Structures are given as structure tokens and as C-alpha cells.
């Protein structure tokens, strides 16, 4: 099939999003072969090819219609969108689905000795960041006048080098901040990975694959947290047991062969099932408890 008929998705070549992105595509059923340092790999069982690039290039590849889809952090998407708007343009990509990985936040952090007394303490300070447009919007919305120092990396050492008074950078565990004697004082943006698409209308067959992919992604995200739970219980305990099953819709209740008053209860729980829940279920009269992972789900 020529390129026109095959979908092309851009993902990060090597970084924090790479493994999760490949895992998501594999769980959506994509089989592919990837050679070492290969820029592109071809789907063997779906008309979907994967292009490996730097994450910062993904929005452009999608808006230039080189790729139909892209998988990238909301932080990159927002920065790109605002940068285009600042130049009087408009981003030509659409965010179509948030994904459940790559979670982090863009935060303001100050040196340990900095006396922070709310956002007004940022006034007239120099703030180092690789996200000047997202930061500028935050400062504007909070009516703060400060100087933005745009860096391309190593933001966390800018205060020590005297290049800035404080920083605005991505944080996940916070250990990088601690190691650099910085503390987080305000969140500018909550981020996670997301799927973007070209605004260009796709031919029917491609559009159909995008729809199928979205449904599968939805299914993958739902099963990640879901568990299938099976247990035995006396009918009289059913009310209490249904209340205890975390995030489940109406469970299936099956009479047990020769079990008298006892029934088997099967339910899909859309949350993780913890030991505490099992213990409560047991205390409510349940026995023979079994919790299984869910492999696939299609609502």
C-alpha cells in the first residue's frame, strides 16, 4: 500500500515516552519490526507505520502532515500551540486523546533559602525555563511581571550559576529539585502524554483506522486498572458484597451446583483490587476469592 493509504504515527525516538508509546501500540495489536537506530518501522498487520523522532519535532510533523498522528506530552503540545499563537499563527494539529502515562507537572521552584510569600514573590524575578510560552501565559493570568530566561536544558542549575533567581521546569518525583536545593512552590501545568492528529481530512480507510485505534486505546487504558474478580457468597450477603466491589457495574450472580444458598459472583472492577478490599469481602461472608488481570476489553 502506498503512503496515502497507510497511517503514520510519530513517537519519541528515545526518552521517557518511548517504551510506553511502543507498549501502547503493541497492546493495540500492532506488530512491527524495529531495527537498531531505524528511523521508521512498518506495521506488519495494520496499515500503520511508526516514525521515531525527538519529541519536540512531533507537533510540527503532524501539522505539516508528514504524519497523521503523534504521541507527545501535553507540555510540548501547549508550548508549541502558544508559541504559534504568539507569532499570530494557529497550531494545525488537534489533541484527540489524553493517555495514562508520561504524567508530570510544570512547576515553579525556588532555591531553598528563597523567601516565598505567594505568587507575588515572583515579581521582577528572573525565571529560567524551557517552556517560555506556557510560563508567560501563567504570569499573565496571575498579573505578574517577571523576566523569563529561556534555556534549552539544565534548567535546574540556572539559579546556582546566577543565570536566574528561580526556575519553571517539569517535575515528577521531585528528587531532581531536592538534589539541586530547590523547592516546588506553584504548579503551572499538569501534563501527561496525548495523541494528536492532523486537521487534514483523511481518506475513509485511514479515518476508519484512526477510529479503531482510538477505541483500542480506550480499551487498553480501561484494562490497565481493571480486574476480574470471582468469589462465592451466601445470597444473604450479596447486598453488602456488591457495595464492597470497587468500581464495578452490576456483577453476574450464578447459582452453585449443589451449593444450597451459595452463589458465585463475577464482576469486572474498574479499579485496582487491594488486599484490604479482599479482607473486607471475606469478612462480609465471601469465600474462594480470585482476582484476575483483564487482558482486553471492548465496551
With a CB cutoff of 8 Å and minimum separation 6, the contacts of 177 are 109, 156, 171, 183, 184
Q: Is 56 in the site for Zn ion (CB under 5 A)?
A: yes
Is 55 a binding residue for Zn ion by CB under 5 A? The answer is yes
**CB closer to Zn ion, 61 vs 263:** 61
Nearest to 172 by CA among 227, 231, 244, 103: 103
Among the listed residues 82, 170, 263, 273, the single contact to ligand PRT using CB under 6 A: 170
How many residues make contact with Zn ion (CB under 5 A)?
2
Going by C-alpha positions, the residue among 201, 273, 189 that lies closest to residue 230 is: 273
Nearest to 194 by CA among 89, 78, 296, 110: 78
Figure out which of the listed residues 77, 109, 169, 194 binds ligand PRT, where binding follows CB under 6 A.
Answer: 169
Q: What does the per-residue mask of binding to ligand PRT show for 180-209, with x meaning CB under 6 A?
A: -----------x------------------
How many CB atoms are located within 10 Å of the residue 109 CB? 27
Lookup: cell for 247: 468500581
Residue among 77 and 268 whose Cβ is closer to ligand PRT: 77
Shortest Cβ 244–ligand PRT spacing (Å): 35
Checking DSSP bridges between strand 193-197 and strand 94-98, what pairing results, if any? antiparallel
Helix (H, G, I), strand (E, B) or coil at 212: helix
Using CB atoms, what's the residue nearest to ligand PRT?
Answer: 73
49 makes contact with Zn ion (CB under 5 A): no
Which residues partner with 43 through β-bridges? 32
| DSSP secondary structure letter of residue 272 | -
Residue 173 found at the interface with ligand PRT (CB under 6 A): yes
- Rule CB under 6 A: say whether 102 interacts with ligand PRT: yes
For binding to ligand PRT (CB under 6 A), which residues are involved? 12, 15-17, 54-56, 73, 75-76, 102, 104, 169-176, 191
Amino acid at each position: 500500500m502506498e503512503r496515502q493509504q497507510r497511517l503514520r504515527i510519530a513517537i519519541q525516538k528515545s526518552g521517557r515516552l518511548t517504551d510506553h508509546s511502543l507498549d501502547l501500540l503493541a497492546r493495540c495489536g500492532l506488530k512491527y519490526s524495529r531495527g537498531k537506530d531505524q528511523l521508521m518501522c512498518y506495521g506488519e498487520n495494520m496499515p500503520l507505520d511508526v516514525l521515531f523522532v525527538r519529541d519536540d519535532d512531533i507537533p510540527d510533523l503532524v501539522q505539516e502532515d508528514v504524519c497523521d498522528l503523534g504521541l507527545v506530552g501535553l507540555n510540548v503540545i501547549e508550548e508549541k500551540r502558544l508559541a504559534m499563537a504568539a507569532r499570530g499563527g494557529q497550531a494545525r494539529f488537534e489533541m484527540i486523546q489524553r493517555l495514562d502515562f508520561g504524567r508530570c507537572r510544570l512547576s515553579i521552584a525556588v532555591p531553598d533559602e528563597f523567601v516565598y510569600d505567594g505568587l507575588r514573590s515572583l515579581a521582577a524575578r528572573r525565571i529560567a525555563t524551557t517552556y517560555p510560552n506556557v510560563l508567560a501565559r501563567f504570569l499573565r493570568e496571575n498579573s505578574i511581571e517577571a523576566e523569563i530566561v529561556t534555556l534549552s536544558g539544565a534548567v535546574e542549575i540556572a539559579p546556582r550559576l546566577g543565570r536566574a533567581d528561580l526556575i519553571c521546569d517539569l517535575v515528577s518525583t521531585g528528587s531532581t529539585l531536592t538534589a539541586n536545593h530547590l523547592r516546588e512552590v506553584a504548579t503551572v501545568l499538569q501534563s501527561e502524554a496525548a495523541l494528536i492528529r492532523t486537521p487534514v481530512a483523511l481518506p475513509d480507510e485511514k479515518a476508519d483506522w484512526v477510529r479503531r485505534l482510538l477505541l483500542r486505546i480506550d480499551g487498553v487504558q480501561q484494562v490497565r486498572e481493571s480486574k476480574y474478580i470471582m468469589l462465592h457468597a451466601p445470597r444473604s450477603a450479596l447486598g453488602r458484597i456488591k457495595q464492597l466491589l470497587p468500581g464495578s457495574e452490576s456483577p453476574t450472580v450464578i447459582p452453585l451446583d449443589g451449593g444450597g444458598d451459595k452463589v458465585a459472583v463475577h464482576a469486572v472492577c474498574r479499579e485496582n483490587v487491594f488486599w484490604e478490599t479482599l479482607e473486607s469481602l471475606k469478612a462480609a461472608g465471601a469465600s474462594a476469592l480470585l482476582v484476575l488481570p483483564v487482558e482486553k476489553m471492548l465496551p
